[in-house]
Amino acid sequence: MQRLKSLRHSVTTASLRFSPHWRRSLLKSVADSTAAATREGEDLQNQVLVEGRSCSRAAVLNRPAALNALTTNMGIRLKKLYESWEDNSDIGFVMMKGSGRAFCAGGDVVALYRLIEQGKVEDCKDFFRNSYMFIYILGTYLKPHVAILDGITMGGGAGISVPGTFRVATDRSIFATPEIHIGFHPDAGASFYLSHLTGHVGEYLALTGERLNGVDMVAIGLATHFSMSDKLSWVDERLAKLMTDDPSVIDSSLAQYGDVVYPDKTSIVHRLKIIDKCFCHDTVEEIIDALEEEANRSNQDWCISAVKKLKEASPLSLKVSLKSIREGRYQTLDECLVREYRMSLHGISKEISNDFHEGVRARLVDKDMAPKWDPPTLEHVSVDMIDSYFSPLEEFEPELKLPTNLREAFV
């Protein structure tokens, strides 16, 4: 809008000095800019679509070309929609789904990278603040929530779905928290929900970025139901007809139109004993040593792959992420989000390390797949560096303020 005001001012000034041709050109420029701004506003509005049903509403993430990666605007819009739906007594429950081949690939980290390049760190802070605020609202939501996790569900995509009541995985679902491979940490509430999974599988997922299919998501509790993707239209049709706010009715409907599936021989459920044995250790170095010993003994592909992934990840991110998961095990959702907000702001500041900027550059921008981590090895990561990630924000930098006095976390 500031740009439009400036352009209008230039038209007024120019009309006193220039010919009619110049005036027409400048007026056309204003018209074009106004139209562009209108289109941009419409595009922002269309990033989250709304489907109205008799007794429910559905938010549809709608950036299919970007795998529905989250933007600041999407976080703001989701928060606004969910708060209004919660206050509407005619709405019994709420749904979320994605358009295209993804549910949500997480935060738009390339956009964050560009903002950092431009020195717009405040805009990055807005993204994290609004995203985490919405996640807290979802985690304390008073109405049943159904997320259809059809396709890619990674990072922040899991963050905006796992805290809800029901999560429906499909044969197209792909879950991962791959942040350590871009020099970051599993955030968006990941330190809460990963740490509450069985045994030490949360550490395994956080430190390797391992991908899970829909069956495994159900098996370890990340999803509550499973449906073949070609049956989702039936599920959607059934839910659209429900006139209820009773979670048990929604649960039975999802089960009725869902599919019973069993883990195959490659499933994570067959690795849990070894995962617990290796990832229970106190340090990343001990975890890698235990995995290497197991890989040499058993020669299992997944074990060899886990070692490789750990050695390719940012050493600092590995140590920070391990501590984050361990702390999350004894914290509430709001405590995890406040801590993750600190960690995220420290992580993008470049004051401790440049790993986030370098990781996004290497894997998503230049795509040379050769990030130069700093520090380059685990032994060079000091305790002070790790602790700095968890330290309170500076005097003039406000902490994340969640409405805990109005909305109390259930766990």
Q: What amino acid positions are annotated as catalytic residues?
A: 107, 156, 179, 187
Nearest to 108 by CA among 161, 159, 72: 72
With beta carbons less than 8 A apart as the criterion, state whether 237 and 202 touch. Answer: no
Residue with tokens 């406000």, as numbered in its chain: 398
Q: Which residue has the tokens 């985690």?
A: 139
* Burial status of residue 310 (CB atoms within 10 A of its CB: 0-12, 13-18, 19 or more): buried
Longest CA pairwise span in the chain (Å): 85
Could you give phi then psi for residue 401, rounded to 5 degrees? -105, 110
Helix ranges restricted to H, 88-166: 109-117, 121-139, 156-159
Q: Residue 304: which residues within 8 A CB-CB, separation 6 or more?
A: 295
Q: How far is the C-alpha of 142 from the C-alpha of 158, rounded, in Å?
A: 20
Do 318 and 187 contact (CB within 8 A), yes or no?
no
> Which has the closest alpha carbon to 134: 70, 45, 178?
70
Residues in the chain: 411
9 Cβ contact partners less than 8 Å away, ≥ 6 residues apart: none
- Can you tell me the distance from the alpha carbon of 124 to that of 254, in angstroms, rounded to the nearest whole number? 37
Q: Tokens 């499909």 label which residue?
A: 170
Contacts of residue 310, Cβ cutoff 8 Å, sequence gap at least 6: 207, 208, 284, 287, 288, 291, 318
Tell how strand 48-52 and strand 56-61 pair up: antiparallel
HSE (side-chain half, CA atoms, 13 Å) at 185: 35
- Phi, psi angle pair for 128, to nearest 5°: -65, -40
